[in-house]
Structure 1
Amino acid sequence: MFKIMIVEDDPKIADLLLSGIQKYGYEVVKVKDFHQVLQEFEQVKPQLVLLDINLPSYDGYYWCRQIRSVSTCPVLFISAREGEMDQIMALENGGDDYITKPFHSGVVLAKIHSHLRRAYGEYAARREEPVMEHEGLILYPERLELQLGQSTVTLTKKEADIIESLMERYPRVASREALLEKLWDPQAFVDENTLNVNITRVRKKLQELGIEEAVLTVRGSGYRLNVTWQENRR
């Protein structure tokens, strides 16, 4: 049974989410101490987090960064903030999706199911762990890890999906349409900036490994991997 943690300081909204999600067989835990969110997360060990932005003490962006320091589980922001910058900030701080209030319970449940399926569905069948390699850059899509030499960085699920797509299509261009289809459900509305933000995050992870300009923007088409020269520069 998947366990979901709700970080929402409005009791009515938290109870609404809890009752709606429990009906579908998920185990649900509400955070009670909003000054100890990370500690509760580490105790509960949920497979997915629903996270509000406006919280006592520290905001949701802060707690998402703390969660990201120990876990790659899906984090879905739920907030009354509708501004573009708020959504960008949520993604920049490690979030996987953004749901605005007031929300429809069916949409929340569909997104929960979708993210759980994407994050954990591949573990249903036992098989050899897939590994992708290009010019010394090694992607472990199930571990959500990217390795170059002795250095390793942890990825979010969407970051891993983007790198996997770029590797699969190399030396061809991965179109924006193909990336959007891989990362999000077709029926979901995705703002144009959302993919840009995720590409920026991928570039930062590659920079942590010492690879600069690893993802090239092909104007009017999409993105292409560009790490063929990296071994000579390290």
Structure 2
Amino acid sequence: MIVEDDRTVNTLIAEAIEKWQMDPIIVDNFNDVENLFLKTQPHLILMDINLPVYDGFYWNQRIRLHSKIPIIFISSRNTNMDMVMAMNMGADDYVSKPFSTDVLVAKINALLRRTYNYKDDHQDIISLHNVTLNLSNSTVKVNDQAIDLSKNEYKLLQVLMNQSGQIISRDHLLRSLWEDERFVDDNTLTVNINRLRKKIEVAGAKDFIKTKVGQGYLIE
């Protein structure tokens, strides 16, 4: 979502991100930025500071009432005070005009990767294949069927799904679950993994958690 009143800059940004298969939402009614955000639910916002009616700081505050969506400020105002104010109000990055579109797109891509990592539009939902994990209420569903997990089983699934595509070592999982893994029997991790795997498979997600012998566990 591009919140910028300079049509030349709008066009420049829109053309640059479209080359990366992103869909720009260009704001043209600066009285109604908040409602357009709620209606369109974008994945990221590019926000100018100097805008008609209300400035970018105001709209940043309004949007932060609803979402933790990543916001990049783009502005010709490049004083340290403006940058500090933007970051303190919840912005994720700040780009000064004039800017390189290549640098801007790189920042957008990096921020999207860090923020979502294959999550859906809501940052508290992680969905992989037919398994959905809801971070806001600590529930897990397989094919829309809720499954009951223990606290440790839920933590294990969260770590593995958050880092899908990566092999997670047993040591890393032990540290994630227990503050001092020295006092935990290694077999405890195996028991928790096996219980988690069985519950997920019974619900219909077979081979969801893979074992990499001598390396750890993986969700692809």
Provide the TM-score with structure 1 as the length reference: 0.52
1:10 corresponds, among 2, 6, 11, to 6
Partner of 2:39: 43
1:145-164 → structure 2 map (5 Å cutoff): none
Partner of 2:189: none
Give the structure with the higher percent strand.
1
Alpha-carbon offset, residue 38 of structure 1: 0.2
1:95 corresponds, among 75, 91, 94, to 91
Percent identity between matched residues is 40
1:61 aligns with 2:77: no
SS in structure 1 at match of 2:90: coil
Determine the C-alpha separation between the residues in 1 that align with 2:11 and 2:67. 25
Alpha-carbon offset, residue 62 of structure 1: 0.5
Alpha-carbon offset, residue 125 of structure 1: 3.9
Q: Deviations over 1:189-223 (max 9, x none)?
A: xxxxxxxxxxxxxxxxxxxxxxxxxxxxxxxxxxx
SS in structure 2 at match of 1:25: coil
Determine the C-alpha separation between the residues in 2 that align with 1:128 and 1:10. 41
Larger radius of gyration: 2
Q: Deviations over 1:26-57 (max 9, x none)?
A: 01110010111101111111000000000011
Task: Show structure 1 runs of 5+ residues with no match.
Answer: 132-137, 141-166, 172-234
Q: Which residue identity lines up with residue 18 of structure 2 in the other structure?
A: Q
Q: Which residue identity lines up with residue 6 of structure 1 in the other structure?
A: I
Alpha-carbon offset, residue 110 of structure 1: 0.4
Q: Deviations over 1:99-156 (max 9, x none)?
A: 000000111100110111011115374678598xxxxxx9x8xxxxxxxxxxxxxxxx
Partner of 2:190: none
Determine the C-alpha separation between the residues in 2 that align with 1:112 and 1:55. 21
Partner of 2:21: 25
Partner of 1:106: 102
Provide the TM-score with structure 2 as the length reference: 0.56
Q: Which residue identity lines up with residue 11 of structure 1 in the other structure?
A: R
1:66 to 1:130, Cα distance in 2 relative to 1, 3 A: closer
Determine the C-alpha separation between the residues in 2 that align with 1:36 and 1:22. 24
Task: Show structure 2 runs of 5+ residues with no match.
Answer: 120-126, 139-174, 180-220
